[in-house]
């Protein structure tokens, strides 16, 4: 538990987020109390009872920065865990770095990130290279255009580490009803004149719904939106990639798919209730390659029971296949997952933290450069998720969506639509209902809000 005394709610929240990102054990279990009094902050916890004096005359922003640096340094010594990101919180660091590139040259920015935010040297270089890569794309993309996200919340079974709200694809009634509603929502955009920059069908596992339902969605999407520069379908589970599904994806112009083993260790897959084998992944991968899809492969570092050698082995085996993109996640301990509820054994954070650096270097040696990244809460080793790509094969959608540089029209349960106004750097969000019944009965309420924002754009 962390308790704050005599702070404004916003200031307390800022420090809480930092402590939570760095040291989740203080949120549940260990106690820490932070007391604000004139000119000083007192920290009380087991083994730590210190007063931090603040100099007079500093402004509010500098006060916050100094307190955060103090929290970082004192907890780092006490807990013997290093923070890659220093005092930087927030899930989209690249958005901030892109903004800072307007004020600083890359060399100046490196020093600024290290001095002001206390970010590790390697991490600061990583962040700057991602921001420069994204900037080079954003400069050539219409910021007043849009991209499309379509959500399919169905999966063959639930993997133990996952907490996404999913429905079993074997539930044919729910599936039929869902696709019916989704198509009504998509068709209400028939009046669009302009094609999107990119389309992304994600989930869940969109390829787990069978070829006839998938075909309905792909056909309607093509009729309503046409073909963007990039059309991705998250195939995800390799066991869902049958011949007819591949044919359907090809027929409707899908250019990019994700096939995700998460690990190349069969024992981990079966332990985590991810019901496919490494062999099935390889079979699906080779077939997709023959069909000339651009391929992304997702991996997760820190799956329970795996050591560093096994994780590096998974990475090496995936790199040997030469996919266009490899997305490396770090295990995030999600409240709703079975893994979290059963408090399984987790890999030591220090090991993960070092491994993340090796992964970055290993991928770099094989020509994979990071092109987008984001952080999540409760991630082992204060890790993060990053997409790496072969030169020129980056996913446009991932960059635009993550760093909010274009509007996204979202469709389906739990989808999020974002309207981006580049002149004022304003972002308006509309979230679709998060459960099936509300979505089916009331989707039009949210749709009217989306349509109202759309009037500001010439699509």
Ligand X SMILES: C[S@@+](CC[C@H](N)C(=O)[O-])C[C@H]1O[C@@H](n2cnc3c(N)ncnc32)[C@H](O)[C@@H]1O
Residues making contact with ligand X (CB under 6 A) = 155, 161-162, 164, 203-205, 234, 236-237, 260, 262, 298, 300, 329, 331-332, 334
Which residues in the 352-381 window bind ligand SF4 by CB under 6 A? Answer: none
3-state SS, residue 457:
coil
| Token pair belonging to 253 | 């112009």
Q: Single out the segment in contact with ligand SF4 by CB under 6 A; choices: 180-188, 203-211, 307-315, 363-371.
A: 203-211
User: Would you call 286 exposed, middle or buried from its count of C-beta atoms within 10 A (0-12, 13-18, 19+)?
Assistant: exposed
Q: Return d(Cα 94, Cα 88) in angstroms, integer.
A: 11
Residue 123 interacting entry, from ligand SF4, ligand X, none, C-beta within 5 to 8 Å by type: none
Q: Which is nearer to ligand SF4, 398 or 405 (CB)?
A: 398
Nearest approach in angstroms of CB 435 to ligand X is 18
Cβ atoms within 10 Å of 212's Cβ, excluding its own: 10
Q: Return d(Cα 85, Cα 18) in angstroms, integer.
A: 10
Residues touching ligand SF4, count (CB under 6 A):
11
Residue with tokens 């509007």: 407
Which residues in the 140-169 window bind ligand SF4 by CB under 6 A? Answer: 155, 158-159, 162, 164, 166
Binding residue (CB under 6 A) for ligand SF4 from 86, 145, 196, 204: 204
Contacts of 80 (CB under 8 A, 6+ apart): 350
Nearest approach in angstroms of CB 140 to ligand X is 27
Q: Which is nearer to ligand X, 262 or 268 (CB)?
A: 262
Q: Return d(Cα 146, Cα 326) in angstroms, integer.
A: 25
| Token pair belonging to 220 | 């309607």
Q: Return d(Cα 140, Cα 248) in angstroms, integer.
A: 31
259 lines the binding site for ligand SF4 (CB under 6 A) = no
Residue 158 interacting entry, from ligand SF4, ligand X, none, C-beta within 5 to 8 Å by type: ligand SF4
Window 208-247: contact mask with ligand SF4 (x via CB under 6 A):
----------------------------xx----------
Q: To 10 degrees, the CA torsion angle through 108, 114, 120, 125?
A: -10
413 lines the binding site for ligand SF4 (CB under 6 A) = no
DSSP state of 208: G
Binding site for ligand SF4 (CB under 6 A): 155, 158-159, 162, 164, 166, 203-205, 236-237
């Amino acid at each position: 538990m962390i308790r704050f005394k005599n702070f404004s709610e916003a200031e307390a929240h800022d420090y809480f987020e930092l402590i939570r990102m760095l040291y989740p054990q203080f949120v549940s279990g260990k106690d820490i109390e932070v007391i604000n009094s004139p000119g000083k902050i007192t920290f009380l916890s087991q083994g730590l009872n210190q007063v931090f004096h603040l100099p007079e005359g500093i402004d509010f922003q500098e006060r916050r920065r100094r307190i955060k640096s103090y929290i970082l340094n004192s907890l780092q010594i006490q807990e013997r865990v290093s923070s890659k990101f220093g005092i930087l919180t927030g899930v989209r660091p690249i958005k901030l770095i892109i903004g800072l590139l307007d004020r600083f040259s890359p060399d100046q920015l490196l020093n600024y990130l290290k001095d002001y935010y206390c970010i590790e040297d390697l991490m600061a270089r990583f962040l700057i290279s991602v921001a420069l890569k994204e900037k080079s794309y954003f400069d050539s993309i219409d910021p007043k255009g849009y991209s499309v996200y379509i959500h399919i919340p169905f999966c063959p079974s639930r993997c133990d580490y996952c907490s996404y709200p999913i429905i079993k694809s074997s539930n044919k009634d729910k599936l039929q009803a869902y696709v019916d509603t989704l198509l009504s929502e998509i068709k209400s955009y028939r009046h669009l004149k302009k094609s999107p920059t990119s389309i992304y069908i994600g989930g869940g596992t969109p390829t787990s719904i069978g070829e006839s339902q998938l075909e309905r969605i792909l056909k309607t999407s093509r009729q309503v939106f046409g073909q963007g520069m990039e059309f991705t379908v998250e195939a995800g589970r390799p066991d869902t990639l049958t011949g007819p599904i591949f044919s359907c994806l090809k027929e409707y112009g899908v250019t990019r798919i994700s096939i995700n083993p998460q690990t190349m260790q069969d024992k981990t897959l079966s332990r985590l209730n991810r019901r496919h084998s490494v062999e099935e992944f390889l079979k699906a991968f080779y077939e997709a390659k023959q069909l000339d899809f651009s391929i992304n492969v997702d991996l997760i570092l820190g799956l329970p029971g795996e050591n560093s050698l096994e994780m590096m082995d998974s990475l090496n085996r995936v790199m040997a296949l030469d996919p266009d993109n490899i997305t490396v996640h770090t295990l995030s301990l999600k409240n709703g997952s079975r893994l979290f509820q059963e408090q399984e054994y987790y890999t030591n954070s220090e090991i993960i933290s070092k491994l993340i650096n090796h992964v970055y270097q290993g991928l770099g040696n094989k020509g994979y450069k990071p092109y987008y990244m984001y952080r999540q809460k409760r991630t082992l080793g204060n890790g993060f998720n990053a997409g790496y790509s072969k030169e020129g094969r980056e996913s446009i959608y991932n960059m635009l969506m993550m760093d909010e540089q274009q509007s996204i029209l979202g469709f389906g349960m739990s989808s999020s639509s974002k309207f981006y106004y580049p002149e004022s750097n304003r972002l308006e969000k509309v979230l679709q209902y998060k459960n099936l019944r509300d979505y089916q009965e009331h989707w039009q309420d949210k749709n009217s809000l989306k349509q109202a924002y759309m009037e500001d754009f010439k699509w």
